[in-house]
Amino acid sequence: MAYPFQLGLQDAASPVMEELLQFHDHALMIVFLISSLVLYIITLMLTTKLTHTSTMDAQEVETIWTVLPAVILIMIALPSLRILYMMDEINNPSLTVKTMGHQWYWSYEYTDYEDLNFDSYMIPTSDLKPGELRLLEVDNRMVLPMQMTIRMLVSSEDVLHSWAVPSLGLKTDAIPGRLNQTTLMSTRPGLFYGQCSEICGSNHSFMPIVLELVPLENFEKWSASML
């Protein structure tokens, strides 16, 4: 999760988030180079007294400043489209979980099990134990197996919500009457925090998401204890 005064993105915990971090660095480097070039040209124009009368009318210069931006856009668009299709791809999910947004809590249903569902409410500040995080802890965490492809079905029962977990690269809108889906896979165990990312009313800030990714053996023990 994020720490105080953090400037960058959260550490990646899924292959998709790793790709998003690399694309972020790739695009940021291009922006840095363009900014440096523009600043250099502005500095030259303000400081040098030398001018070239035919530069602004040259066919070669116009060709360069037309072709170069097109090449830069292609360099940004190709990896962006690759990640976009990668995020939409679902290959034989091992588990399907349906999450419903409510005002103002989440409910989860493990559709591969006959009767495994629960609601997840934020723990009030007065009930927090030492070491627990304010506005982020919930009474029922969603436990999932790590290193397995999981399909998330996201919808809402009342207003627009958004189910988002930054360290896993997930953000899916929960829309009433519509079922959206996304893929989740964690490369390591741990607790991963998220929040509703769509303004959904007065208690929008108080419906956190907590995912507990564990080895498959631990998940099987947990699911057996919940049934």
- The residue ranges of every structural domain in the chain are 13-86, 93-224
Q: What is the pLDDT of residues 96-150, one digit of tens each?
A: 999 999 989 999 999 999 889 999 999 999 999 998 899 999 999 999 999 999 9
Contacts of 70 (CB under 8 A, 6+ apart): none
Instruction: Please give the pLDDT value at position 56.
Output: 60
Domain 93-224 CATH (choose: 3.30.43.10, 2.60.40.420, 3.40.50.1240, 3.30.750.24): 2.60.40.420
Q: How confident is the model at residue 21 (pLDDT cuts 50, 70, 90)?
A: very high
The more confident residue out of 60 and 109 is 109
The lowest-confidence range among 2-6, 50-54, 157-161 is: 50-54
Instruction: Please give the pLDDT value at position 92.
Output: 86
Instruction: Please give the pLDDT value at position 211.
Output: 95
What is the pTM (predicted TM-score) of this model? 0.84
Cβ atoms within 10 Å of 198's Cβ, excluding its own? 17
CATH architecture for segment(s) 13-86: Orthogonal Bundle (1.10)
Apex CA 117: angle with CA 166 and CA 178, to 5°? 60
* Distance in angstroms (rounded) separating the CA atoms of residues 155 and 103: 13
Instruction: Please give the pLDDT value at position 1.
Output: 73
